[in-house]
Structure 1
Amino acid sequence: MSKTYSISELAKEFDITTRTIRFYEDKGMITPQRNGQTRIYSPADRTKLKLILRGKRLGFSLDESFAIIDMYNPKGNNAGQLHTLIDGIRERRLALQRQMKELQDMLQDLDDAEQRCREALPDADTAS
């Protein structure tokens, strides 16, 4: 029999709240078994949760993460899933590079504005 997990065990392991796990369950992203009111999570649920959180760290939306996770076929070739993931990573990287360039430009603009302000100050005030 394979190991099962409680909601509190998973929350502790991944340093998230039980509410977060229930949210993913409500979205249909993980589907624990029930024993009365108790949720029983399988190793597959644990793996999906891990992948959801990894996707979040990489900047994927929940829908993007779920679409990629849902493509997994344990009995087949997962090249399609991997290509989709690679494409998503490339898109995310390009977006972050654009944001980094915009931030660098903003920092340069701030430096330039500060320098112009300092140059416009009377000589007596530049000592402060």
Structure 2
Amino acid sequence: MGRQSIKFKRLTPFFNRQRLEQQFSFQLTATPKAIDKRFIYSGQVTERQIHKRYGVIVSESSETDDYVLDDSFLIWQGQQGLVIITGCSHSGIDAIIRHAKKITGNDKIQAIVGGLHLRCASLAALKERKSNRSPC
């Protein structure tokens, strides 16, 4: 497969940043941020497990490969451990778990919820992933 440019039709012209900032307060950050005493925004995952190009970022003046370097997730700090809430886990779930443990100082994982991109994984791959994480 080669590199190809794809033209996208803008599906949501009313949801641009400038318009949203009129109604919402943005706090953009690449570093972890406490949302309240139990919820933490992870910030950018610093030690990635997967280095895969997922697409191309197209601006008016350039095109760059998109490695989803801004992959992030939420952490809920419960009494029985951390609950990691992921989006797509483009950094790799192992890297996400390590990042959550690093920023919270808690090694106990209660649950992982969200997208893991394992729908088409083989049974052997699923068993390997499970054995790598049990017990968290």
**Is the TM-score greater than 0.5?**
no
Higher relative contact order (CA 8 A, sep 6+): 2
TM-score by length of 1: 0.27
Q: Which has the larger radius of gyration?
A: 1
**Higher helix content, 1 or 2:** 1
